Structure 1
Amino acid sequence: IEAVNDIPTANAQSVEILEDTVASIKLAASDVEGDDLIYVIVDAPRQGSLAGDVPDLSYTPDADFNGTDSFSFIAKDQDQTSGFAVVDVRINEVNDAPVANDQLVMLLENTEMSITLAATDAENDPLTYTLVSVPQDGTVSNVDLPRLTYHPNENFNGTDHLTYIASDGELVSETATVDITVVAVNVPPVAIEQGITTSEDTRVAIILKAMDIKDETLTYTITSNPSHGVLSGTTPNLIYLPNLNYHGDDVFAFTASDGTDVSQPADINIKVASVNDPPKADPKSITLAEDAQIPIVLSGTDVENQKLTYEVVSVPSHGTLSGRQPNLVYTPQPNFNGRDQLSYGSSDGFLSSDPAVISITVTPTNDPPISMDVTKALAQKSQGNQIQLTADDVDGDPLTYQILSAP
Structure 2
Amino acid sequence: INDPPRLLVPFADLETPEDTAVTITAPLTHFSDPEGALLSLTSATSNNGTLAWNGSNLLFTPATDFSGTTMVRLTVSDGDSSLSVDAFSVTVLPLNDAPVYNGSLSQLQVLEDDTLALGDLLQAFDDADGDALLLLDAAVTPGVLLMDGTTASFVPPANWFGQAEMQLQVGDGEFSADSGVLTLVVLSVPDAPLQIAPLPNRVMFEDSSLVLDSLLDWFSDGDGDSLFIMDSASSSGLLSQAGDTLILVPEPDFNGPIQVSFSVSDGSLVLEGANFTVQVVPVDDQLVLLNPFDPLVWNEDESIVLDQISSHFYSGDADTLFIVDSWVEQAEFVITPLEDALQLTPPPNWNGTGSLFMTVDDGLDHPLTVEIELDVVAQNDAPFLDFCNAPIEPVSDPAQFLAELGLRLADVDNDVLSLRWFLDGTLLLEDELQASMDTTECISPSPDLEDLLAPGILHLEVSDGLVTLNQGGVESSWQILSTSVEAALPLEWALDAIHPNPFNPATVLPFSLPREAWMRLSVYNLQGQRVALLHDGTLTAGQHRLTWNASNHASGVYLAVLESADVRLVRKMTLLR
- TM-score of Structure 1 vs Structure 2, range by shorter chain: 0.3 to 0.5
Higher RCO (Cα < 8 Å, 6 or more apart): 1
From the CA coordinates, give the structure whose radius of gyration is larger: 1
Q: Which has the higher helix share?
A: 2
Give TM-score, length-normalised by structure 1. Answer: 0.39
